[in-house]
Structure 1
Amino acid sequence: YWILDPVDGTTNLMHDYQHSVVSLALCRQQEIVMGIVYDPFNDELFSAVKGEGSFLNGKPIHVSSAMKLSETIIGIGTAKRELAKENFARFLKVYENSQDVRRLGSAALELAYTACGRQGGYFEIYLNPWDYAAGMLLVQEAGGKVTDWNGNALDPAQGCQVIGTNGQVHEELLKLL
């Protein structure tokens, strides 16, 4: 089945904050086998097919080579307003242990940026499958790791906590969450 988010970053689009993407994934037997994230504002097409690597506009991409959080920036997501105090306490811990934090407002774009090495990782307390499915494959095929906050594999049919990293900083970031 197909998992489509025609506008990931809807609030951004409503405010002309140009960080919105189209995200499309193909799930076969509970496994994401193809993912595409298209950023029309920058004309960037991120794509991956299971076992074939990740690409940006047809050129291979790879996750960041950072070995520690202090060597990279981390993307954050702010879903679930009722958890704002908990979220901001987490953000502060990550901020204090990384080079800096960023919030784009589009989970699919955050995962694409992690896949191409622009940031060392990204996390959000709750995402729906259409938010993360394509980006998850991009990160994995680019050499990174995507799990829930307990380190377990994601079920593309379920909403969940999501952390995607270059793999090297995964455990360090998990401990902070």
Structure 2
Amino acid sequence: MNMNEKEIIELVHSTKSIIYNKELAHAVTVKGAADYVTKVDVAVQEYLRKELAARTPDVILLAEEQENKNLDPAKSYWILDPIDGTTNLIHDYRMSAVSLGLYENGQMTFGVVYNPFTEETFHASLGKGAFLNGEPIHVSHREALDTCIIAFGSAPYEKERASMLFPIFQRVFMETADFRRSASAALDLCYLAAGRIDGFFELNLKPWDYAAGSLIIEEAGGKITDWNGTRLPFLANSDILTCTPEIYERIKKLLKH
């Protein structure tokens, strides 16, 4: 791979002008229940696809707005969500991000998540720590559950699971200080890495939702697994649980259903 950290981050930053194009943002296609794609998603993905292919021809692209088949864990992948938080973008909610991760040798080796509306860039390289706009970040390490803020995903694409999920939400809510819901899993993961929240959980996230953020969390001192405590697959969907190490086991127990 012949791109360094700075070059990857600068490339992701260069998508800002596409994301700020309101005409593209309001050109919406419905993919499924509460699941949308805009021309921004498509344009950002196509732009990054071309740039990454030119600079790193040996790395395969795994991305949201395309068909992904026959994935081989022995190969290297860019894992891309061109816009995480598409519904937010449509509503001008300004909690949307580009998420790009590099998967090599069975693990994530680089991740960057960029919110162009706040100009916040979270990134991490394996073994080198996690950063926000170039400054080191760490998880909160709060221990008292009743002082912790937990973010969650409500599975809006699978509303038939609400009867299973909402009792879990209630259990977690009653044991903690409060909830947050941003509707951008990539940003929730980064907010945990930065100590802004203390835990996050969501069902059935796609690889591009969590790949980059998972490395940022681990490099910031957090713990991230599926709901059963199993290592993440990175190239497949997963139910995601991430917390500060101090509260991880207690939150995992509350998620049992």
Q: Which of 239, 246, 253 lines up with 1:168 in the alignment?
A: 246
1:141 and 2:222 aligned: no
Q: Which residue of 2 aligns with 1:119?
A: 197
Structure 1, gaps ≥5 residues long: none
Residue 41 of structure 1 is matched in structure 2 by 117
Give 1 or 2: higher strand fraction: 1
Q: Which has the larger radius of gyration?
A: 2
The separation in 2 between residues aligned to 1:77 and 1:129, in whole angstroms, is 15
Cα offset for 1:81?
1.4
**1:96-135 alignment runs, 5 A limit:** 96-135=174-213
SS at match of 2:122: strand
* Residue identity (%): 50
Residue 78 of structure 1: CA displacement? Answer: 1.0
Asked whether the 8 Å contact 2:95–2:115 carries over to 1, the reply is: yes
Q: Given the alignment, which residue of 131, 134, 139 partners 1:58?
A: 134
Letter in 1 for 2:228: N
Compute the TM-score of the two structures, normalised by the length of structure 1.
0.98
* Equivalent pair of 2:151/2:201 in contact (CA under 8 Å): yes
Question: What's the C-alpha RMSD, in Å, of the aligned pairs?
Answer: 0.7
Q: Does structure 2 conserve the Cα–Cα contact (< 8 Å) formed by 1:63 and 1:114?
A: yes
TM-score, structure 2 normalization: 0.68
Deviations 1:26-46 (A, max 9, x none): 000220010000011110000
Counterpart in 2 of 1:11?
87
Q: Could you tell me how far 1:95 is from its partner in structure 2?
A: 0.7
Aligned length in residues: 177
2:164 is matched with 86
- 1:21 equivalent to 2:69? Answer no
CA contact (8 A) 1:69 1:120 kept: no
Extract structure 1 runs of 4+ deviating beyond 4 A: none
